[in-house]
Amino acid sequence: MLGARLATAAVAIPLLLAIVFVAPPAVLSCLILVLGLVALAEYLGMALQRQRADQALGFGCGALVMMVAVWIVEPGLPLAAALTTAVAGLLAGIVLRPVDLKVGVANAALSVMGILYVTILAHFVWLRHLDGGPYWITFIIANGMSSDTGAYFAGKSFGRRKLMPRVSPGKTVEGAVGSLVTAAVAGAVCQKLLFPAEAVSTMVVLAILLAAVGQLGDLCESALKRAFDTKESGWIFPGHGGVLDRIDSLLFPVAILYYYRVSF
């Protein structure tokens, strides 16, 4: 398991850095679109199990939103148009198809939530277009990886108290604390290597905040999986579960970092 994860990471990380720093922004947009569509398909597969027609409608509406979201360089009017179309399309789908109204409404609602949830991924594209975007994307990824690694080893070594057994039985308080510690260290390292102009305290506080929010996001995806009675969201990456399992802890941090960067 650990071996497979390291092998995947050894291929994925250099490739990702090349895409973020060297390739034109459109390449990152395409990557995010593909990841987003796979994540959406995984989500709909879990949320609307075996209801193929509703999955297809949700995927179509979500694909429209994702395509617009990665096409634009910041969230604006076209995204509002796409979202409105998606919601109207899902509601019209309840009326115009001969589905049970209760099931139809429940499935439309789950689809809307999944679309909005997965589309958070587009903040990577919008962050890429900001000043120093590639560096901030690297920071998010380093933050996620260091936080995951710290949680894994601290949990394995010292894990005793359950963090939230109702949602995710494997996670421990010690793992969560370890994740914040390694994220703080990685934040300081990033400051030295990538952001000499930022104060080290800013980067450390930001790193801890993002790691904490990332773990909350991880728990949210666990809650979704539990509610839908599934274990893993998919099987794309060897040892890593599905795309949704990989991106869950990045979604909230990348959104926070994006709005932080446009505000300050």
**Residue-level length of the chain:** 264
Q: How far is the CB of 12 from a copy of itself (least distance, A)?
A: 26
110 binds a copy of itself per the rule CB under 8 A: yes
Report the C-alpha gap between 179 and 177 in whole angstroms. Answer: 5
Q: How far is the CB of 182 from a copy of itself (least distance, A)?
A: 22
164 binds a copy of itself per the rule CB under 8 A: yes
Extended beta strands in the chain, E state: 162-164, 168-172
At 253, the amino acid letter reads: P
Around Cβ 12, how many Cβ atoms within 10 Å? 14
Q: How far is the CB of 10 from a copy of itself (least distance, A)?
A: 32
What lies within 8 Å, CB to CB, of 244 at 6+ separation is 39, 42, 43, 118, 221, 233, 234
Contact call for residues 167 and 140 (beta carbons, < 8 A): no
Q: Which stretch binds a copy of itself (CB under 8 A): 142-150, 202-210, 223-231, 234-242?
A: 223-231
252 binds a copy of itself per the rule CB under 8 A: yes
Q: How far is the CB of 158 from a copy of itself (least distance, A)?
A: 23
Token pair 């987003």: residue:
36
Contact call for residues 78 and 68 (beta carbons, < 8 A): yes
Binding mask of the shown chain, residues 176 to 205, with x at each position contacting a copy of itself by CB under 8 A? ------------------------------
101 binds a copy of itself per the rule CB under 8 A: yes
Contact call for residues 12 and 4 (beta carbons, < 8 A): no
Q: Interface residues with a copy of itself (CB under 8 A)?
A: 74-77, 79-81, 83-84, 87-88, 90-92, 94-95, 98, 101-102, 104-106, 108-110, 112-113, 116-117, 120, 123, 164, 166-167, 216-217, 219-220, 222-224, 226-228, 252, 255, 259, 262
